[in-house]
Amino acid sequence: MQTFIENLPKAELHLHIEGTFEPELMFEIAQRNEIDLPFEDVEALRKAYDFSRLQDFLDIYYQGMNVLREEQDFYDLTWAYLTKIHKQNVLHTEIFFDPQGHTDRGIPFETALNGIYNALQDGQKQLGISFGVIMCFLRHLDEDAAMATLEQALAHKDKIIGVGLDSSEMGHPPEKFTNVFARAKAEGFHIVAHAGEEGPPEYVRQALDVLHVERIDHGNRALEDDVLTQRIAKSGMALTVCPLSNLKLCVVDDLKNHPIKKMLKAGLKATINSDDPAYFGGYMNENFGQLAEAVGLTRDEIATLARNGFEATFLPKDQQQALVAKLDAYLATA
Ligand code: ADE
Ligand code: ZN
C-alpha cells in the first residue's frame, strides 16, 4: 500500500508554509540573519516538538517564524517544501501563509508574499506543481487587524486566491470576523476557515453561516453533531483533514481512533493534508501512509481521498478535470 500511496497523484489543500520550517533550515537561516535561537541545536529543537494541545504548538511555531526576515528566506522555505512534495507526487498545492505573523514583527507584507510567490512560480515552471496562495487571519488578534491585512492584500489580488482563519481557536469564534470575511468575499477571494479542530460544532456552523466558507479546515468536531454532519455531507463541501496534526495536537489520542472512516461513511468529502509537516512528523505520503496503516484504509478509500483532494481545489473546472484524469490514469495501471 505504501508504494501505491507514494506514486499516487495528490493535491494538498491545508498547508501552512511557515509550518514547513525544518529545524536544519531554521538554523541555517538564523545563522545568516545573525539571530540566536533559544535551542542548542537541531536535536534540541526537534525535542521541543512535543505538544498536548494547539496552543503548545502555536507558541513554538510563532517563535520559529521569527527567523524569517528577508525575501530570500521566504523563498528558500517555500522552495524546500516544493522539492519535498515534488518527490511525493503532489501535483497541486494551495498553501496558507500568516501575513500578520510577519508584519507584526516589522517584516513588510510584500517581503513575505513575494518570496513565497516567486518560489511557487519557479515550482510551477521547474517542477510542474500548480498552486494557489491563501492568506490566513490570526484569530487571536482582533478584526481591525484582520481588516488592515485584507486592505494590504487588495494590491496583490493577482497572487492571492483566498482568505482563511487560523491560530488559537478556542475563545475566538468565526463570528468575531464577520465583517472582514464579508469584505473579502465581496472582493472576490475564496473563503476557508479552520473550524472544529479544537472548537465545538457551533464554530463549524458559524464558519458556514457567518463566514460562508467554501471548505472547512479540519472540521473533526462537526462529527459530534449529526444534523451538521448531514448538512455538510449533502452540500458536498470538503473537509481538509490533517491526520498527523490531529495526532500531534491530541485532537485524536491514537491514529487508530482517527475518524476518517466515519467521515467517509457519513458522506463527507474528506481530503488528506499535512498542515505543519515539519512540526508534526510528515508530509503528504506520511499522512496517507500512517493513517492507512492505523485505520486500515482500503485502496478504494485512498483513491477517494485523493480524488476528493483534486475536486476540492479552487482550480477552474478544466484544470481540475485534467488532474483527476491523471489520477484515473494512475489507478488504471497501479
Ligand atoms: N496555524 C498553523 N497550524 C495551525 C493549526 N493546525 N490550527 C490553527 N492554526 C494553525
Ligand atoms: Zn492548519
The DSSP output letter for 314 is: S
Q: What CA–CA distance (Å, rounded) separates 32 from 44?
A: 20
Per-residue confidence at 307, pLDDT binned at 50, 70, 90? very high
Q: 240 CB less than 6 Å from ligand 1?
A: no
Q: What is the pLDDT of residue 199?
A: 98
- pLDDT (0 to 100) of residue 259: 98
The string of pLDDT tens digits covering residues 250-289 is: 999 999 999 999 999 999 999 999 999 999 999 999 999 9
Exposed (0-12), middle (13-18) or buried (19+): which is 38, by Cβ within 10 Å? exposed
Residue type at 53?
A: R
The values of phi and psi at residue 114, to 5°, are: -65, -40
114-141 per-position pLDDT tens digit = 999 999 999 999 999 999 999 999 999 9
Q: What's the pLDDT at 159?
A: 98
Annotate 151-160 with b (16+ C-beta within 10 A) or e (fewer).
Answer: ebbeebeebb
At residue 214, φ and ψ (nearest 5 deg) are: -105, -20
Cell 499535512 belongs to 274
Closest Cα to residue 271, out of 231, 312, 300?
312
Q: What is the pLDDT of residues 159-218, one digit of tens each?
A: 999 999 999 999 999 999 999 999 999 999 999 999 999 999 999 999 999 999 999 999
pLDDT, tens only, 29-50: 999 999 999 999 999 999 999 9
Q: What is the pLDDT of residues 217-260, one digit of tens each?
A: 999 999 999 999 999 999 999 999 999 999 999 999 999 999 99
Question: Residue 87: how many CB atoms within 10 A of its CB?
Answer: 11
The active-site residue out of 71, 197, 198, 311 is 197
What is the whole-number distance in angstroms between the Cα of residue 167 and the centre of ligand 1? 5
276 lines ligand 1 (CB under 6 A): yes
Q: Answer positive or negative: Cα dihedral of 289, 265, 315, 16.
A: negative
The residue whose CA is least distant from atom 9 of ligand 1 is 167
Question: Rounded to the nearest whole angstrom, what is the distance from the C-alpha of residue 326 to the centroid of ligand 1?
Answer: 31
Residue-wise pLDDT for 141-176, tens only, equals: 999 999 999 999 999 999 999 999 999 999 999 999
Say whether 175 is catalytic: no
What pLDDT is stored for residue 85 in this prediction? 98
What is the three-class DSSP state of 21?
Answer: coil
Q: What is the distance in angstroms between the CA of the first residue and the CA of the last residue of the chain?
A: 10
Find the helix or strand (DSSP H, E) in which 147 lies.
helix 143-153
What mean pLDDT is reported for the chain? 98
Residue type, 174: P
Please give the Cα distance from 272 to 313 (Å, whole number). 12
